[in-house]
Each structure stands twice: as C-alpha cells, then as structure tokens.
Amino acid sequence: MLAVLQRVSEARVKVDGQVVGEIGAGLLVLVCAERGDTEAHAQRLLAKLLKLRIFSDAAGKMNLSVQDVGGGLLVVSQFTLAADVSGGNRPSFTNAAPPDEGRRLYERFVELARAAHPVVQTGIFAADMKVALVNDGPVTIPMTVR
C-alpha cells in the first residue's frame, strides 16, 4: 500500500460542497491500495503511521507520534498515488488495485484505524473530493508498505 502523510494543523474534505471529514492538528493520510495488496499491508501501514515520530516535542525535535500528541487522522482514498509516468506524459494507473479491491482495503484500513485511534475522519471512496489543509512544517512523508 502507498500513503502520503501530511502533518497538518487542520484539514477537511468536501464532497458536493459539504464537509464530510474534518480534523484539527494531526495527519492527513492519502492512501492507495495497489494490485496484490492485502489486509496485512493495511495493518502494517497503519501500525507504522501511528508510531511515526513526526510531531515536535517540547524541545522542538520531531520526537512524538500522532498518538503521543492526540492528533486526528483524516483518511482519504487516492488511487492516483499509484501513477506510473515512466511511459510518457499521460499517467498510467494500472498498478492501482481494481476499484472493488481498492474500496475493500480502504474501508478495512479505516476500520482498523478507528479501532486503534480515537479521532478518525474520512473522505468518500471514489467521490470527487476537495481537500483543504494547512500543512504544519511543512512535513510531508511518502510511505510504501510491501
């Protein structure tokens, strides 16, 4: 699975002009299932991002996790993370999981996140979403779990 984490002071996602998910400080998690990904990949991705020390401690050093600071998670599906641009100017998305499998793994990821973390908001799978955020730092971390 692929993810891009953005440490945010706030983030929200709108669908058809309506806010469907919103957090204050925490992580915006853009997530993509690729062909061949399994629930085990989703579990490893979640475990890693919950413990990733990318929040500042009292000394200003990135030494705390989202769990340590009590931050929220805004989880948004984004199949375009699987883009392959090696063949030309038009991206190929053949590495992305088929829609049904992508939805199943995204929903499982969200279910696992909600069981492990107190504040989890989401976008809507396959919807045309408008995501707004204030990147804190900025801190942006790409992650791949195989």
Catalytic residue among 38, 80, 94, 140: 80
Q: Is 78 a catalytic residue?
A: yes
Q: How far is CA 122 from the centre of its chain?
A: 9
- Provide the 3-class DSSP secondary structure of residue 114: helix
Q: Is 79 a catalytic residue?
A: yes
CB-CB contact of 134 with 9 (8 Å)? yes
Nearest CA-CA partner of 22 in 133, 146, 106, 139 = 133
Catalytic residue among 79, 109, 121, 122: 79
How do beta strands 2-15 and 18-23 pair? antiparallel
Catalytic residue among 18, 38, 43, 78: 78
Q: Is 144 a catalytic residue?
A: no
Q: Which residues are catalytic?
A: 78-80
